[in-house]
Amino acid sequence: MLKVLKNLKKSFCEVVIIVILLCIQASTDLALPDYTSKIVNIGIQAGGIETAVPDIISKQDMENLFIFTDQEAKILEHYTLFGDNPTKQEEKIISKYIGNDKQIEKGTVYIVKEIDEEEKDILSKIMATPLMEMTTLEKEETANQIKQQLMNHMAEEQKQYIQAQNLMELIKSMPEEERKQVLSQFTNKIDEMQDSIKEQAAVSCIKEMYKKLGVNTDKLQNEYILVAGLQMLGIAFITMISAVTIMLLSSRVAAKLGKTLRDKVFKKVIHFSNKELSEFSTASLITRSTNDIQQIQQLITMLFRVVVYAPIIGIGGFVKVLTKSDNQMAWIVGVAILAILFVVGTLFVIVMPKFKKLQDLVDKLNLVAREILTGLPVIRAFHKEEKEEARFNEANTDLMKANIFVNRAMSMMMPLLMFIMNSIMILIVWVGGHGVEQGIMQVGDMMAFIQYTMQIVMAFLMISMISIMLPRAAVSARRINEVLETEPSIKENVEVKKWDETKKGLVEFKNVSFHYPDADTEILSDINFTAKPGETTAIIGSTGSGKSTIVNLLPRFYDVTGGELLIDGVNVKEVSQKELRDRIGFVPQKGILFSGTIESNIKYADENMSDEQMKEAAKIAQATEFIEEKEKKYQEPIAQGGSNVSGGQKQRLSIARAIAKNPEIFVFDDSFSALDFKTDSKLREALSAKTKNKTVIIVAQRISTIMNAEKIIVLEEGKVMGIGTHQELMKNNETYRQIALSQLSEEELEKGGE
């Protein structure tokens, strides 16, 4: 898989941008639960008061506060008593809380100094407990309990006095030891509470203080919620823009990778020899170039979000759970992760073996479909439609069953994971609800915990989804690498030799032998002959004698396994393949045309060749007659594979294509078989005038096609059984004589030879 991903270097800039945007998105996603918590805890419950540090407090309340703390000096160093020359900070606080239309008497309020967040947090912890204690004692129920405690051992007159007095005044007048003893039952309970609960209670006290000073607390609350809400919208907008940009760039990167892989696979395949093409079936190569690369492309679209985003959001969420919320519930996250890993791991073990089988079944289906569609005429001629339908149905059913199995397993995963996610949410609400009821957790913290937990769970969901896609993509990547890492057996020689121009067009077979890769027996053995310029060299023999194999060695579709094959006096292994094939005009046994026009097919060797050269080639190939009958002449469209022309027309256009190239050596691999005798005769007559100084090698089954050749080579079971002219072979070679007499009478043979 990593070898395939190395091709992403062409999209390096896009990948860097995606990673940066994913980090931004993860940061914004992790910030949103904090804002939810703040809106609930501070905006709704605390009325917009952020900490247990009052920005403005009356002198009386400050004195009452000092009853419950010994940190009086520490608190006062952060406050100033409002006086004649207010600072900018004091004016700002007065304007925010009191307004410019109300007057504050000098020396009646304390205003907090401008301090940083760290100092404010320290001060908040100092003031939270005394503020909470003060709030508790100001409650009528608590005040009555303390008074009752004080009156337990007093006379009636003293009881009446205490009952009538303000509790704060009474506590102030007490000696320090007695005061601590009276308040101990309340302060001990407060000390056991969490800091967040103390701060929440302290904020309630501050809110009451503000009300006494005439502060509009509703306005303060609404402003806080509005600002926090707008900040959340801004963060959500950044998240949206990042997500959209990431998806666009990921799709672009995946598409580029797909294009790069298709280019590499195609360029690799185009240089394969027949050996490599036989190892990979055509159907498999098509599947690897399309379906397999599509699997990689789909994976890449999701991969960045998982590789970068999921770990950030998962780890970040877990850290937030431990630091921002009640970490006593962190075990719930562990339960969720273990449950998800169990489900995904189980499915992974079950489904993984099916992925490779799935791709193999796609190969098989493509192979069967291609074979049936290519052989439709034969299938219809033998009335075997039902048999082939059954064969296709079998391959199709096997693929369907494998797909159903994989899809069922995949379809089970999401409901199971959603069940885990919803169960975890219920568990959080259950445990968190008890925490809120007991006063050890705030509602906003519980809501933030739910959001962080869902983010962690979703991160693992994303990883689980990719873990299902990854095996299939890994199989596809391996199949693509098999093609890319396969080295063509026919390679360019490092030191390329120059052609011997004195032997231009000369073809020499010297003790040539050949066997197919992995075959035990030789197809050709000890082949020796020479084909000279200005002569026609014909090769004839029974089916399977090795005729086509010989001509396939000339353009190096295969390499000889023994002996030497020389063209222009140089071993074909020691020259450039391009230059070698430029010197050969090859017409295969089966005429192959490409989609386009008649003109584009004839001019296939050189699209810039003149129209005169094209028309001359068509005339020699006896193709002019049917071309001129076409409505658009040479611009007549040719369908894929030449399916809209007959077999004879296809062969003539293939011959015209080779003639138009005007090479040194013409090779016709049984290329006249689809032509009638009259057309065959005319074509050979016209061709002989064109190829006076060219080397012509013809493989044929018809004796009539080759009987006028200067040299005829008779093959049988891969060996040369005779070489000579028609007359010589008729007299001296029994194999040739039997082939000839099986096609023509002795009189016709003698007449043709003359």
pLDDT tens string 30-44: 888 888 888 887 888
- Residues 403 and 333 both lie in one domain: yes
pLDDT(753) > 60 = no
Q: How far apart are CA 5 and CA 72, in angstroms?
A: 65
> Which CATH number do you get for residue 728?
3.40.50.300
Give 714's strand partners.
Answer: 540, 722
- Residues 546 and 647 both lie in one domain: no
Q: How far apart are CA 190 and CA 724, in angstroms?
A: 118
- Residues 358 and 468 both lie in one domain: yes
Tokens representing 694 are: 């060219």
Q: How many CB atoms lie within 10 A of CB 575?
A: 20
- Residues 639 and 676 both lie in one domain: no
Query: Do residues 26 and 313 lie in contact, with contact meaning Cβ atoms separated by under 8 Å?
Result: yes
Q: Report the amino acid identity of residue 401.
A: K
- Residues 314 and 379 both lie in one domain: yes
285-305 pLDDT tens trace: 888 888 888 888 888 887 877
- Residues 296 and 398 both lie in one domain: yes
- Residues 181 and 322 both lie in one domain: no
Q: How many CB atoms lie within 10 A of CB 227?
A: 12
Q: Rounded to the nearest 5°, which phi and psi values hold at 504?
A: -60, 125
- Residues 76 and 175 both lie in one domain: yes
DSSP code of 498? P
Q: Is residue 502 part of a domain?
A: yes
Q: Is residue 514 part of a domain?
A: yes
pLDDT(103) > 90 = no
114 alpha-carbon distance from chain centroid: 53
Query: Do residues 668 and 706 lie in contact, with contact meaning Cβ atoms separated by under 8 Å?
Result: no
Cβ contacts of 14 within 8 Å, gap of 6 or more: 249, 252, 253, 256
pTM above 0.75, yes or no: no
Q: Is residue 450 part of a domain?
A: yes
Q: How far apart are CA 317 and CA 336, in angstroms?
A: 13
Task: Look at 53-57, 135-139, 607-611 and tell me which has the smallest mean pLDDT.
Answer: 135-139
Give the residue from 226, 248, 265 where a domain finishes.
226
Model pLDDT, residue 195: 67
* % the chain with pLDDT above 70: 88
Query: Do residues 638 and 596 lie in contact, with contact meaning Cβ atoms separated by under 8 Å?
Result: yes
Query: Do residues 140 and 81 lie in contact, with contact meaning Cβ atoms separated by under 8 Å?
Result: no
What SS3 state is found at 382? coil
Q: What is the DSSP string of 517-559?
A: TT-SS-SEEEEEEEE-TTSEEEEEESTTSSHHHHHHHTTTSS-
- Print the domain residue range for 544: 497-583+668-683+694-754
Cβ contacts of 169 within 8 Å, gap of 6 or more: none
549-563 pLDDT tens trace: 888 888 888 888 888
Give the residue from 205, 226, 247 where a domain finishes.
226
Q: Report the amino acid identity of residue 658.
A: A
Task: Look at 166-170, 213-217, 376-380, 432-436 and tell me which has the smallest mean pLDDT.
Answer: 166-170
Query: Do residues 618 and 625 lie in contact, with contact meaning Cβ atoms separated by under 8 Å?
Result: no
Average pLDDT over every residue of 433-444: 73
Give 722's strand partners.
Answer: 714
Q: Is residue 241 part of a domain?
A: no
Tokens representing 721 are: 């059984």
Q: Is residue 243 part of a domain?
A: no
Query: Do residues 35 and 228 lie in contact, with contact meaning Cβ atoms separated by under 8 Å?
Result: yes
Average pLDDT, the chain: 82
Task: Look at 452-456, 469-473, 535-539 and tell me which has the smallest mean pLDDT.
Answer: 469-473
What SS3 state is found at 279? helix
Q: Rounded to the nearest 5°, which phi and psi values hold at 329?
A: -100, 5
Q: Rounded to the nearest 5°, which phi and psi values hold at 524?
A: -125, 145
Query: Do residues 691 and 664 lie in contact, with contact meaning Cβ atoms separated by under 8 Å?
Result: no
Cβ contacts of 156 within 8 Å, gap of 6 or more: none
Q: How far apart are CA 591 and CA 647, in angstroms?
A: 8
- Residues 657 and 673 both lie in one domain: no
497-533 pLDDT tens trace: 888 888 888 999 999 998 877 777 888 888 899 998 8
Model pLDDT, residue 678: 82
pLDDT band at 193 (very low <50, low <70, confident <90, very high): low
Average pLDDT over every residue of 632-642: 85
Average pLDDT over every residue of 448-477: 77
Tally of structural domains, the chain = 4
Q: How far apart are CA 394 and CA 599, in angstroms?
A: 43
pLDDT(474) > 70 = yes
Model pLDDT, residue 750: 67
Query: Do residues 210 and 56 lie in contact, with contact meaning Cβ atoms separated by under 8 Å?
Result: yes
- Residues 290 and 266 both lie in one domain: yes
pLDDT(335) > 60 = yes
Query: Do residues 451 and 32 lie in contact, with contact meaning Cβ atoms separated by under 8 Å?
Result: yes
- Residues 153 and 75 both lie in one domain: yes
Query: The sheet that has 719-724: what strands, in order across it?
Result: 584-587, 665-669, 695-699, 536-541, 711-716, 719-724
Element (H, E) at 744: none
134 alpha-carbon distance from chain centroid: 62
Q: Is residue 382 part of a domain?
A: yes
Q: How far apart are CA 480 and CA 7, in angstroms?
A: 12
What SS3 state is found at 698? strand
Q: Rounded to the nearest 5°, which phi and psi values hold at 307?
A: -65, -40
Q: Is residue 601 part of a domain?
A: yes
478-493 pLDDT tens trace: 888 888 888 877 777 7
pLDDT band at 754 (very low <50, low <70, confident <90, very high): very low
Q: Is residue 26 part of a domain?
A: no
pLDDT(602) > 60 = yes
Angle at 481 (CA atoms; ends 480, 484), nearest 5 degrees:
95
Q: Rounded to the nearest 5°, which phi and psi values hold at 639?
A: -75, 170
Task: Look at 82-86, 429-433, 501-505 and tell me which has the smallest mean pLDDT.
Answer: 82-86
Model pLDDT, residue 235: 93
Give the residue from 226, 241, 268 where a domain finishes.
226
> Which CATH number do you get for residue 475?
1.20.1560.10
Q: What is the DSSP string of 621-672?
A: TT-HHHHHHSTTGGG-EE-GGGTTS-HHHHHHHHHHHHHHH--SEEEEESTT
pLDDT(673) > 90 = no
Work out the burial of residue 85: count CB atoms within 10 Å of its CB; fewer than 13 is exposed, 13-18 middle, 19 or more buried: exposed
Query: Do residues 112 and 92 lie in contact, with contact meaning Cβ atoms separated by under 8 Å?
Result: no
- Which one of 177-181, 239-243, 594-598 scores highest in mean pLDDT? 239-243
- Residues 384 and 263 both lie in one domain: yes
Average pLDDT over every residue of 392-407: 87
* % the chain with pLDDT above 90: 4
Q: How far apart are CA 688 and CA 682, in angstroms?
A: 10
Q: Which residue has the higher pLDDT, 694 or 186?
A: 694
Tokens representing 571 are: 């071993």
Q: How far apart are CA 519 and CA 561, in angstroms?
A: 12
pLDDT band at 226 (very low <50, low <70, confident <90, very high): very high
pLDDT(572) > 70 = yes
